[in-house]
Structure 1
Amino acid sequence: MALFFRQEKLKFWSINGQGKIWGLVLSAAGALVLVLWEGPVLLTSRLSNIQATSDGVIGLIMIVVGVLATSFWNIMVKHVTQFYPAELSLSAMMSFFGTIQTAIGIVVTGLSYYVMTWSIKKNGPVFTSAFNPLLVVFSIVGAVSVIFGLYLILWAKANDMEKKEIVADDSV
């Protein structure tokens, strides 16, 4: 989105451009690993398999919409701060929306504990506990991929900034 709104320049064949591209790809791949890994099927009916597939698609769509919304929000904040100098009230507004998101996270956490309790009741604690290590492994793989992708993007951006400073110093 930063390219689309001309907030960022990308030289595709430069090392910094490649760092930005591969950083974006790795971050997106890590996030997709976290979203698309479905885990074990708890119910064995055909209907549950159809539901799990549609939930994965809905989750993927929600992630894409969330990333695009956050990108658009960051671009909007840059433009707003140019015309609206009250960063404190802008920060208060962002904190308010963060509070709403946290409340939603609390509800989701409660629902996940409900599903875990249901699973323990149906299949016992050993069955439910057996899958916990897999969740950790997939979370770590996805998180490491996201962090490495972010590092590549920041590294490429820092190199771009250094080159701009060098060019600016030469022109003086």
Structure 2
Amino acid sequence: MKTKIGYGVILGAMISLVGALTLTMYQGIPLSNSHEQATISNIHKGDDNWIKGCFLLFTGVILFSSWMLIQAKINVSYPCPYSSTVILSVFGTLQCALLSFIKTRHVEDWILRDKLTIITVIIAGVIGQGMCTVGISWCIKQRGPVFTAAFSPVTLMSATVFDFVILHRMIYVGSVIGSVVVVIGLYMFLWSKSKQIDECKIVKLPTNMVEKEKEEEDNTNVNKLGRVLVIPMTP
């Protein structure tokens, strides 16, 4: 907070957050035609669950952020970082199974018959949970939790592009504006973060030079001592 680069990091993160909120909450004028306009009238049918949904989403974000901070500590001392992903997946599976059992206790509802459902479950488990969690853990180990969390708004951009290109849904002005703002904030954050890393290396450089000089001096003393020891004794 006391440097311009620190202000750049915080400002970039805040701009990305504003872009993500704009992308999510503001629609504006539609920029494309879609055959799904008949479903627009059904959007507000689930208004009764907005408060519950927002509370659960907020709780999920807090827990995921806490997991990133804890993962940064685990990567320092835990010898097998990828096995922590397995442990996470196992406990997540147990929790999902418990919630599903509370939701329905009919065995028929647990059987997957649709091919699309089976493919979706496999992709969500292998890629969405396994590979993505390993990738996030690796990024946290390399750059830290704040750097990794800065890319979270990109998920909303990817979902918007996927809806427009694959599902052929309407795209709105708010989606475009929010995506542009996210990119600007993310670029500012990454640029400031890279400058911050370079400054940290420069600050640590004198200490490393002192240690290197001390090591060279110790090696010189050892070599001199070795030469003294090998001098032949004359009668």
| TM range, smaller chain | 0.5 to 0.7
CA–CA distance in structure 2, aligned partners of residues 162 and 82 of structure 1: 22
Structure 1 residues 154 and 34: alpha-carbon distance in aligned structure 2, compared to 1, 3 A threshold? same
TM-score, length-scaled by structure 2: 0.43
Specify the code of the residue in structure 1 equivalent to 2:124: T
- Residue 80 of structure 1: CA displacement? 1.4
Structure 2 residue runs of 5 or longer lacking an equivalent are 29-36, 93-122, 130-162, 211-235
Task: Please show how residues 18-167 of structure 1 align to structure 2 within 5 Å.
Answer: 18-37=7-26, 42-43=40-41, 52=47, 55=50, 61=55, 64-93=58-87, 99=124, 102=128, 132-134=170-172, 137-167=173-203
- Residue 22 of structure 1: CA displacement? 1.0
Structure 1 residues 26 and 165: alpha-carbon distance in aligned structure 2, compared to 1, 3 A threshold? same
TM-score, length-scaled by structure 1: 0.55
TM-superposition CA deviations, 1:27-80 (whole Å, max 9, x none): 111111122226799449xxx86964973x666555544443332111111111
Structure 1 residues 70 and 145: alpha-carbon distance in aligned structure 2, compared to 1, 3 A threshold? farther
CA–CA distance in structure 2, aligned partners of residues 22 and 79 of structure 1: 26
Specify the code of the residue in structure 2 equivalent to 1:156: S
- SS at 1:99 equivalent: helix
In terms of Rg, which structure is larger? 2
CA–CA distance in structure 2, aligned partners of residues 49 and 159 of structure 1: 46
- SS at 2:5 equivalent: helix
CA–CA distance in structure 2, aligned partners of residues 145 and 53 of structure 1: 31
Residue number in structure 1 paired with 2:4: 15
CA–CA distance in structure 1, aligned partners of residues 7 and 77 of structure 2: 34
- Residue 142 of structure 1: CA displacement? 2.0
May I ask how many residue pairs the two structures share in their alignment?
131
C-alpha root-mean-square deviation of aligned residues, in Å?
Answer: 3.9
Structure 1 residue runs of 5 or longer lacking an equivalent are 1-10, 104-111, 117-128
**Does structure 2 conserve the Cα–Cα contact (< 8 Å) formed by 1:26 and 1:148?**
yes
